[in-house]
Amino acid sequence: MDYMKEYERWMMDDQLNPELKQELELIMNQDKEIEDRFYQFLEFGTAGLRGIMGAGTNRVNEYTVRKVAQGLSQYIAGQGEKAKRKGVVIAYDSRHKSPDFAREAGLVLAKNGIKVYVFEGVRPSPELSFAVRYLNATAGIVITASHNPPEYNGFKVYGPDGGQITTELADAITAEIASVPDELKVRAAYMSWAQEKGLFEWIGEDVDEAYQAKLRTLATQPKEYNKDYKVVYTPLHGTGNQPVRRLLADLGFNHIFVIPEQEHPDPNFSTVRSPNPEEYDAFKLAIEAAEKWGADIIIGTDSDADRVGVVVRDEKGRFAMLNGNQLGALLLEYILSQRAQKGDLPPNSVVIKSIVTSEIGKAIATLYGVEAMNTLIGFKYISEKIKQFEETKEKTFIFGYEESNGYLVGDFCRDKDAVQACMVVAEMGAYYKRRGLTLHQALLRLFERVGSFKEETVSITLKGIEGRHKINHIMEQLRKESPTSLAGISVIDCKDYMQGIEGLPKSNVLKFFLEDGSWFAARPSGTEPKIKFYFGVKGTSLRDSQTKLDKLKKNTLALFFGKS
């Protein structure tokens, strides 16, 4: 794209939103800024699109949203009248302009004769996944940027099974989006007309009730066991407040303290740097409240409530964060042990995790005679496997998770679900407390059984065109000049997932295996201008594994950045 011509095209449009027009006028003589906003159309991939809001083809705004909605409309129209009648469900989170973008997307679909169901207020992404299945819709949309900072928003698309779209489907929709000649000329229906024609319908309470009913089926302990367990919960200004509190209360948790400053939707996420429950800093207010209140556990969810973070008391009684792998290990052990006790663990049971998720999952599954299966990074791949096994009956899905704090227990959703995860985490905490253990102590006991696993993910942000070139160079360098040793340990194998290995689709991920059982992986983020490095080790003790991890991380990052 000729970024200056694109800039001029937008500037010359008489109908351009005045707010966006003023934004473009302010950067009139800033070549780099114009280039960054117009050098491409915001990329649409298997996770939809995500980016900074503002004016430009490389930004999230009403015009880029309309273009994507038009492309999706064309794809659905190509599937026939039945697909159009079954329609599309749309949800949105608490971010700036999320309600507006949801409405615009819905009215573009309606203009194309496609039925839309739009939630009347903020809802979690997993409830959208549930709603697509519950309403037997053709597709779903969530307007969200998940845990990104407040200047971001996004457009995430789900298929008819309630899972995020497959690579094949994303490619087909991308081709339709590319065929839309001018995002500024895409037209949306008038609301009055769309509702009169029965093409635009608001939804809410009925779907909420059905979703909550399914969530309650995941409980494994009597309600009275939960009544004394003290939970501090924070939705981090996002969508989780009502569904999480309602579920916990229904399951007998009488002591739930919600952080007042973070209770209600706030598009500025004004009390945190980022609404990311993977980060300890996001829990500052919650930890202060938990100390005063004498809480047993702290639980937090991100903007669209698909990721959950947990903070527990350590051996000294201080609050410490569980990382995504540790929490996943605890959940897996708890779920398998409870089902095994009840004789409810089928012989063809399977646990599904990503290729960069800790190998402790395989070790735990082995204890119970359960298969642990790896997929590519991205929960849609777990969803694809669930769908496959549902159709073939070859295996019975038990639990799916990723190191990035995404978990799924009940397959009535087909995306990671922090609402159900909050419930299982709280129930698990109450279960161990009745046995005189904190979750931290339960984790240490688990390490004694399967080994001291330790992992860490390092994300390096590299923005703009130069950043993209740097990320590409790092991946090329790793492929051409793979390290032969790190931290004094020989590298004995490398898996390049761009080659379509292990029966998985091609993906730009490299994973290296060291002689001592350690490993690291590298991949560009699919939704942010970042490259991610994943590290995993297994030691003879917590101290030994931490030492191994620190050395591996330092030596690997030094290859590209000169320091760790």
The catalytic residues are: 146
Q: What is d(CA 109, CA 115) in angstroms, rounded to the nearest whole number?
A: 7
Yes or no: say if 509 and 377 are a contact pair by the CB < 8 Å rule.
Answer: yes
**CA-to-CA dists, residue 303 to 147, 264, 492, angstroms:** 6, 11, 41
β-bridge mates for residue 231, sequence order: 256, 297
Residue type at 19 in one-letter notation: E
Name the DSSP letter for residue 224: G
Instruction: Give 148-187 as a DSSP string.
Output: S-TTEEEEEEE-TTSSBPPHHHHHHHHHHHHH-S-GGG--
Yes or no: say if 411 and 343 are a contact pair by the CB < 8 Å rule.
Answer: no
Q: What is the CA radius of gyration of the chain?
A: 24
Token reading at 166:
């497959």
Number of neighbouring beta carbons within 10 Å of residue 1: 12
**CA-to-CA dists, residue 64 to 170, 198, 260, 297, 356, angstroms:** 16, 26, 35, 42, 33
Helices 464-480 + 542-561 axis angle, to 10? 110
Q: What angle do CA 228, 232, 237 make, to 5 degrees?
A: 150
Number of neighbouring beta carbons within 10 Å of residue 206: 11
Instruction: Give 197-211 as a DSSP string.
Output: TT-EEEE-HHHHHHH
